[in-house]
Amino acid sequence: MKHENFLKENNARHFWHPMAHPSEMLENPPMIISKAENVEVQNIDGHVMLDAVGGLWNVNLGYSCEPIKNAIIEQINLMPYCNTFRGITNDKAIELSYKLKEWFSSDGMEKVFFTQGGSDSIDTAMRLVRQYWKVRGKIDKIKFIALSKGYHGTHYGGASLCGDPRFRRNYEPGVPGIFHIPTPYTYRNPFDEENPEKLSKKCIQSLEALIASQGSDTIAAFVMEPVIGSAGVIVPHENFMKQVRNICDKNDILLIADEVICAFGRTGEWTGSRLWGVKPDVMTIAKALTGGYFPMGATLLSGEISEAIEKNDNTLGLLGHGYTNSGNPVGAAAALAALEETNKLNLASNAKARGAELILGLNKLKNKHEIIGDVRGKGLMAAVEIVEDPISKKPAGKDTVAKIFQAICDEGVLLRASGNNFIISPSLIINKDHVNKITTAMDKGFSII
Ligand SMILES: Cc1ncc(COP(=O)(O)O)c(C=O)c1O
């Protein structure tokens, strides 16, 4: 490691950080993490914290998963790279495609297109869905509908699907033909509706109205995260995704489930779609696919979609799409090891059990601290939304968030502060003591206000 002073002096000087204003990073340089072990990270000053962010919703197996590390080392020694463009493939990518087909078979997925991450997976899904409709001769079906609070990455397609202007405004114009409907977010919504079932119905009515006004013959797909992650862990009513599925079926619109966060057990079920009892037409995955040990993702397609493209007998079926690292053998080796560990440790059931304890603990904090406006979660994805006062629901300011964040760090827990939300998404291998540590540190953090 370079000398500590060198790192501190050069922190954020030459490196622009994602999702931050460069001037803010220069003024307030980010925390330098230099070591990670099991479910903990250590900063450059030696302060150890339980990583309640789980990397970025991806380090599901913690930082010391020997089988993944060994698989990567072995594969690098054997063959560090192999492309998979027409005419060439590699053993690990073939094996992984087989395993993923098995893993997602109860979601109805049959084919895999490998990508380099979540944003790639979403843009791949959008491109393949448009291609599918062209192959089917329905050339006007090009538009997409998404949720106002959805997050779908930062490529042009995915960013255009994002409802939050923070991800679009500075880069517009985005991809045309993208529309949003209200999110079933009970704490804040345009209908002032707190009842989850009634709110879900109103959002569904908005979807129906939008389809009617655009014309279903122009809409390619509806895109949603089964549990909305980055916007602050918004858990839709249990009927919402099923109703979306019904509307899509009635109108010949495809359903893309963005499972970049949810897949591989985070919600307490193996996929977010399974959590709600829905079979989508297309799924996007990334993050926990390799446990965060290698950047890799995939877009998965149902039998109906893939068959139409495979059976096409003109150039419309040609996949003019792909990445240098589609099916990278090191990534595939990492993913194979991660899948095996995920299955062996039954991470979905641990996420469900620990998630229930976490929500219970967070709700106790809500009863104690007036600053907490809302607590939401499913499995091991949760958020605590803080407000200036519970009646006006005015979001807590930046300084308050920063003070609480620092106090929780000092107590040995690293959270993610996003706007006025604290997001909790630890590794899925955490135990009951880790959950207690998170809620105890948060209790102390909120007590400083
Ligand atoms: C639901 C969802 N989709 C897509 C993405 C983009 O993934 P990536 O950052 O790997 O490109 C993210 C990232 O957080 C995500 O949460």
Tell me the per-residue pLDDT of 112-122, one tens digit each, with 9 for 90 and over: 999 999 999 99
Please write the tens of the pLDDT for every residue from 218-241. Answer: 999 999 999 999 999 999 999 999
- Give me ligand 1 centre to Cα 130, in Å: 21
Say what the pLDDT of residue 214 is.
98
- Give me ligand 1 centre to Cα 6, in Å: 32
- Give me ligand 1 centre to Cα 257, in Å: 12
Burial class (CB in 10 A: 0-12, 13-18, 19+), 21: exposed
Contact 27, 415 (CB under 8 A): no
> Any idea where the domains of the chain sit in the sequence?
31-61+346-447, 68-344
Annotation: CATH topology of 31-61+346-447: Aspartate Aminotransferase, domain 1 (3.90.1150)
Contact 288, 264 (CB under 8 A): yes
pLDDT average, residue stretch 35-53: 98
**Cβ-Cβ contacts under 8 Å for 159 (sequence gap 6 or more):** 152, 153, 167, 168, 171, 174
Please write the tens of the pLDDT for every residue from 248-283. Answer: 999 999 999 999 999 999 999 999 999 999 999 999
Question: Is 2's pLDDT higher than 80?
Answer: no
Asked if residue 118 has its Cβ within 6 Å of ligand 1, the reply is yes
3-class state of residue 245 by DSSP: helix
**Cβ-Cβ contacts under 8 Å for 184 (sequence gap 6 or more):** 196, 199, 200, 203, 234, 236, 237, 240
Question: Is 368's pLDDT higher than 70?
Answer: yes
Confidence of residue 355 (pLDDT cuts 50, 70, 90): very high
- Give me ligand 1 centre to Cα 119, in Å: 6
pLDDT average, residue stretch 312-333: 98
Of residues 423, 421, 399, 398, the one with CA closest to residue 413: 423
Asked if residue 132 has its Cβ within 6 Å of ligand 1, the reply is no
Asked if residue 260 has its Cβ within 6 Å of ligand 1, the reply is yes
Strand partners, 25: none
Please write the tens of the pLDDT for every residue from 274-295. Answer: 999 999 999 999 999 999 999 9
Asked if residue 228 has its Cβ within 6 Å of ligand 1, the reply is no
Contact 182, 224 (CB under 8 A): no
Mean confidence (pLDDT) of the chain:
98
Task: Provide the whole-model pTM.
Answer: 0.98
| Single-letter amino acid code for the residue at 376 | R
Asked if residue 258 has its Cβ within 6 Å of ligand 1, the reply is yes
Q: Indicate which residue's Cα is closest to atom 3 of ligand 1.
A: 152
- Give me ligand 1 centre to Cα 315, in Å: 31
Please write the tens of the pLDDT for every residue from 55-97. Answer: 999 999 999 999 999 999 999 999 999 999 999 999 999 999 9
Asked if residue 161 has its Cβ within 6 Å of ligand 1, the reply is no
Please write the tens of the pLDDT for every residue from 155-200. Answer: 999 999 999 999 999 999 999 999 999 999 999 999 999 999 999 9
- Give me ligand 1 centre to Cα 153, in Å: 5
Output the six-digit token pair for 250.
């009635």
pLDDT average, residue stretch 195-216: 98
Asked if residue 245 has its Cβ within 6 Å of ligand 1, the reply is no
Question: Given ligand 1 and candidates 17, 152, 421, which is best to mutate, with the most ligand atoms within 8 Å of its CB?
Answer: 152
Say what the pLDDT of residue 356 is.
98
Say what the pLDDT of residue 1 is.
64
Of residues 14, 48, 1, 16, the one with CA closest to residue 414: 48
| Single-letter amino acid code for the residue at 347 | L
Say what the pLDDT of residue 217 is.
98
Say what the pLDDT of residue 195 is.
98
Asked if residue 261 has its Cβ within 6 Å of ligand 1, the reply is yes
Say what the pLDDT of residue 281 is.
99
Report how far residue 182's alpha carbon sits from residue 327's, in angstroms, rounded to the nearest whole number.
36
- Give me ligand 1 centre to Cα 17, in Å: 16
Report how far residue 193's alpha carbon sits from residue 188's, in angstroms, rounded to the nearest whole number.
8
Pick the CATH number of 68-344 from 3.40.50.1980, 3.10.129.10, 3.50.50.60, 3.40.640.10: 3.40.640.10
Asked if residue 231 has its Cβ within 6 Å of ligand 1, the reply is no
- Give me ligand 1 centre to Cα 287, in Å: 8
Question: What DSSP string describes 378-418?
Answer: ETTEEEEEEBS-TTT-PBPPHHHHHHHHHHHHHTTEE-EEE
